[in-house]
Amino acid sequence: MIIPAIGLQFFPNFERSIICYMARTIFSFILVFYTLTGLAQDKSIPLAIQVPAGNRLILHTYAKGVQVYVCLQYPTDTSRYTWAFAAPRANLYADSSYHQLIGKHYFDAGKNPTWEDTDGSKVNGVKLQQASQPGSNAIPWLLLKATATNGTGVLTPVTFIQRISTQGGKAPATTGSAQKGQTIEVPYTAEYLFWGKE
């Protein structure tokens, strides 16, 4: 960083070096801040599921679990069957290697998507938008809005949740009468980003 020379001649060498050091330190902090902000906002996230302005990233988690489906008959055509989504069930980790467990993801008793931290705080969400993830077996990326929070902890101030970087989790394309009423669990991984007001 270039430090303007104007006025520095009035300071002794020691004080001048302190001023230069402080200026470089402030510049470094600014550079790191904008770098992190750019990474948090970018990450090649489609425009449709980007979080509205005025929110900041407060928690980034890595999920590993299953998407649960149940085989049902079409109500309008009883000769046809489909795998209907029933619930998610996943652990949340602080690292992409899935070593540090920090929470879980599931449906609550009201069938609401719920994320729960190990500190006891919880957040429910409702889907606002989705975007396709490249790969035929991957569930979509999502933008969800927080509808309720519970407890006091890291998830208490959450306003929005994003599901990105999904792998797996998609139901089989076909089923039939032999599977009627059966459930299957399809493994998946994803990243969940939790946002709060600035």
What are the pLDDT digits (tens) for 106-155? Answer: 999 999 999 999 999 999 999 999 998 766 789 999 999 999 999 999 99
Question: What SS3 state is found at 4?
Answer: coil
Token pair for 46: 């489609």
User: Is there a contact between 90 and 104 (Cβ–Cβ < 8 Å)?
Assistant: yes
Considering the domain boundaries, does residue 29 fall inside one? yes
Residue type present at position 161: I
Domain range enclosing 127 = 47-197
pLDDT value, residue 39: 42
Q: Is residue 93's pLDDT more than 50?
A: yes
Q: Is residue 42's pLDDT more than 70?
A: no
pLDDT value, residue 17: 52
Q: Which residues make Cβ contacts (< 8 Å) with residue 50, sequence separation at least 6?
A: 41, 143
Is residue 155 domain-shared with residue 182, that is, in the same domain? yes
pTM of the model: 0.78
Q: Is residue 99's pLDDT more than 80?
A: yes
Token pair for 57: 């990233």
Considering the domain boundaries, does residue 67 fall inside one? yes
pLDDT, the chain, mean: 85
What are the pLDDT digits (tens) for 159-196? Answer: 999 999 999 999 999 999 999 999 999 999 999 999 99
Token pair for 22: 């402080």
Is residue 160 domain-shared with residue 180, that is, in the same domain? yes
Considering the domain boundaries, does residue 2 fall inside one? no
Is residue 157 domain-shared with residue 178, that is, in the same domain? yes
pLDDT-derived band at 49 (thresholds 50, 70, 90) equals very high
Is residue 14 domain-shared with residue 64, that is, in the same domain? no
User: Is there a contact between 64 and 167 (Cβ–Cβ < 8 Å)?
Assistant: no
Q: Is residue 9's pLDDT more than 90?
A: no
Considering the domain boundaries, does residue 171 fall inside one? yes
Is residue 57 domain-shared with residue 34, that is, in the same domain? no
d(CA 188, CA 191): 10
- Of residues 103 and 24, which shows the higher confidence score? 103
Considering the domain boundaries, does residue 58 fall inside one? yes
Residue type present at position 65: G
pLDDT-derived band at 18 (thresholds 50, 70, 90) equals low
- For residue 168, what are the β-bridge partners? 188
Is residue 61 domain-shared with residue 33, that is, in the same domain? no
Is residue 16 domain-shared with residue 71, that is, in the same domain? no
Domains in the chain, number: 2
Is residue 36 domain-shared with residue 58, that is, in the same domain? no
Is residue 65 domain-shared with residue 148, that is, in the same domain? yes
DSSP symbols for 105-128:
EEE-TTS-EEEEETTS-EEEEEEE
Is residue 18 domain-shared with residue 70, that is, in the same domain? no
- Of residues 152 and 42, which shows the higher confidence score? 152
Is residue 17 domain-shared with residue 112, that is, in the same domain? no
Q: Where do runs of H (alpha helix) occur along the chain?
A: 13-41
d(CA 138, CA 188): 8
pLDDT value, residue 33: 42
Considering the domain boundaries, does residue 1 fall inside one? no
Is residue 56 domain-shared with residue 31, that is, in the same domain? no
Q: Is residue 27's pLDDT more than 70?
A: no
d(CA 21, CA 35): 21
Question: What SS3 state is found at 10?
Answer: helix
Considering the domain boundaries, does residue 3 fall inside one? no
pLDDT value, residue 13: 55
